Structure 1
């Protein structure tokens, strides 16, 4: 399933892999939006930077975003003020405001044709009092915010909070334009990092600084980011024949939907769940039902899904990877706001490497810890323990022959427990059901026909090929 961004962007010729030993000031691991932006900002500052991408640039989470460039991150201002205090809340808001401005500046000054459109951003809710509180909190933090009683999308609500002058764009057109000015090596999966040396299967980079910008940090110790984040999936439909909307919208609550326009397509998103917890499926179907209810004449032109890293305190980890790894830096945990957070990361990491004081650095520092994290860490750890324990519990016996075509399941066979998928043609695909990251048992995701880890969010296709980290290898059954 290709996103609308992949379908509407010209094919790029693949860049060669790193096949020798080189040196640079900075090695960036990951060629998504955060990695490319960081490398670009560093190069603009005169810092020699290389990017190492395991596949092709922009082919991870960047191609699956809804591509909203906004400081509007749900109904967060009131909550942030109450839980984190005014200084942290204000720093978070101002850093993201600067990120929005920086996108607009770069696109204008570099002349990048990426379908940038200024648009107001709305969060709607059925709770009028929450909207009133959010409007006042946003204004207190320096955001221009307005409470609107009527909005243009046909969802039942009590109104919405509007943040004017945000933006939306085509993420791949923007990314490719920046990457054309950078030294990027594709098909260069990092196998090992030792001090200031990054090793791939064919080459290596010696660098003063190493930036981990590959979505989820794949080195477990030090840092232990797997104990401080989990991953969630959400789904998107690109609809035709809906009429146009001018703003960007996201709902408040469990069954929230998001809306934005791109060209003739309305992007309808929602149905989020923790990765590895979608056994019953039906996420795309529920979105299609919502589309028919709100836009009965619409037609689905594309559908796809995204994966997001969720921190316990709702603030990304941007800064030093760990206290005992000088020169290692990280950018992760962007929640649902990967575009603005990628730019925040690029500016913060550029300033840290260039020894420039940044007033927002402490707010995003990975070394921070608050009591707010404890309940979430406990819940996430519980998921990990549950996932690990499942390896040793008996499950009802099934045979591969009992599987319906187009379905997958964990089965007991004469060779032991394995994951089995039966194609529509009846061909069986067997995989090792143990996640190579930290040993959790994988679950079947029927919506995307993938094997997903409920502990830390790694994902694999029916042949066992790696789709998403933090795992760094596949699960092909030997």
Structure 2
């Protein structure tokens, strides 16, 4: 599957990044990671720092899958609002899922600081456009306050005066960050390689052979990788190997504007915006450009998805114009990607029943990178035989 098409912003602004060779010899390691995007990079980095030997393989160039299409809003928000998630899985578990998001957002910010990767922590606004949605948003605000999250309420007048945002209401949060996912992916892989990891791209895993006490990965290049565990970090491509109903594939669209600026006297903190809707609009600043996305539709095939880029970019730009009437907007780059959604908005982390040597780090949803950060800790604990109380929230078969 081609996970994206169009003019993805991050590879364009970064240029050629980390260059690694294809697999050219047999390897043996503790953990073989399939996928060398941001999720695979987080796994490789965490596991090597824990003293495990790791080999990561990707059929593309590193970071050129979903990572290249990500808008990288690092937020604790889950696609299912907290007050609704409490109804689905119980208050304690729902609040813990949101707390994990806060911890992961902070953890990602620390990683960026360690690695010298550009990262900002401007905070966020979770908003509704229409008055009829305000009561629902107030219920979400109450649930977040009850969970101990640091949030404030912003009414229509405050949204307009402080940020120049034309919306009916918003939840203002300090716990949110934004980064360059392509740069972060490459920096993590460089550190993992420096700690002894083997990373090879342009190498396709064609078969996973289960052995006594481990696995063998066969590749299109010929050499094999023997490992005690295999960790799938292929994102939405992994859906083909999972039971039906685990994830629904979605075509999503994004754009980056030409250089612009907020209305005079507005939006000094450059907060990110995320709409409480389905599908939802989301946006962030990157320097003097806005990066925005949304207009999701169910994925049918790549050809249909790609054909809609122009129309969907125009729709997103129109929505931005209504939301931000004081900002001059013109599309510079537009792209599309295939992502996934789950029934409860949570990712899947761990081993499916009957596949004990196969671990999955699937951060589905709008905050997939924060789930991937959580997965790097959970799967490292799993391989090392350490208990992790949070793993059950993301288990298969839940």
TM bucket, shorter chain: 0.7 to 0.9
Describe the SS at the equivalent of 1:180. Answer: helix
- Partner of residue 160 from structure 1, selected from 160, 165, 170: 170
CA distance in 2, matches of 1:105, 1:38: 16
Is 1:242–1:295's contact at 8 Å kept on the other side of the alignment? Answer: no
SS across alignment from 2:296: strand
Q: Distance in 2 between matches of 1:219 and 1:299?
A: 35
Moved more, 263-272 or 281-290: 281-290
Q: Shift in Å at residue 154 of structure 1?
A: 5.0
Tell me which residue corresponds to 1:40: 45
Once residues 41 and 275 of structure 1 are traced to their aligned partners in structure 2, the CA distance between those partners, rounded to angstroms, is: 32
Could you report, residue by residue, the CA deviation over 1:418-476 in whole angstroms, capped at 9, with x for unpaired residues? xxxxxxxxxxxxxxxxxxxxxxxxxxxxxxxxxxxxxxxxxxxxxxxxxxxxxxxxxxx
Structure 2 equivalent of residue 216 of structure 1: 236
- CA shift digits 1:216-236 (9 cap, x unpaired): 354856x42x43211112111
Residue 78 of structure 1: how far off its partner (Å): 0.5
Counterpart pick for 1:133 among 128, 139, 144:
139
Tell me which protein shows more helix as a share of its residues.
2
Note the aligned Cα RMSD (angstroms).
2.1
TM-score normalised according to structure 1 size: 0.72
Query: Which residue in the other structure is 2:224 paired with?
Result: 204
Tell me what 1:230 maps to. 248
Greater relative contact order (Cα < 8 A, sep 6+): 2
Secondary structure of the equivalent of 1:119? Answer: coil
Counterpart CA distance in 2 for 1:40 and 1:296 is 40
CA distance in 2, matches of 1:219, 1:250: 26
Unaligned runs of 5+ in 2: 1-5
Q: 1:323, 1:229 → 2: CA distance?
A: 17
| Residue 316 (structure 2) aligned to one of 283, 287, 294 | 287
Residue 340 of structure 2: aligned partner: 309
Question: How many residues were matched structurally?
Answer: 363
SS in structure 1 at match of 2:71 = coil
Matched residues in 1 for 2:259 and 2:69: separation?
22
Aligned match for 2:370, one of 333, 340, 347: 340
Aligned to 1:71: 76
Alignment counterpart, residue 122 of structure 2, candidates 119, 122, 132: 119
**Per-residue CA distance 1:372-412 (angstroms, 9 max, x = gap):** xxxxxxxxxxxxxxxxxxxxxxxxxxxxxxxxxxxxxxxxx
Choose the corresponding residue for 2:349, options 318, 332, 335: 318
Out of 240, 265, 275, the residue aligned to residue 258 of structure 2 is: 240
Which residues of 2 match residues 175-214 of structure 1 at below 5 A?
175-181=185-191, 182=193, 183-195=198-210, 196-202=215-221, 203-214=223-234
Look at both structures and tell me which one has the larger radius of gyration over its CA atoms. 1
User: Gaps spanning 5+ residues in structure 1: where?
Assistant: 369-478
**1:72–1:122: 8 Å Cα contact kept in structure 2?**
no
User: Aligned partners of 1:324 and 1:273: how far apart in 2?
Assistant: 33
- TM-score of the pair, normalised by structure 2: 0.85
Deviations 1:97-154 (A, max 9, x none): 221121122223x2x2322111111110132211211111112223112111122555
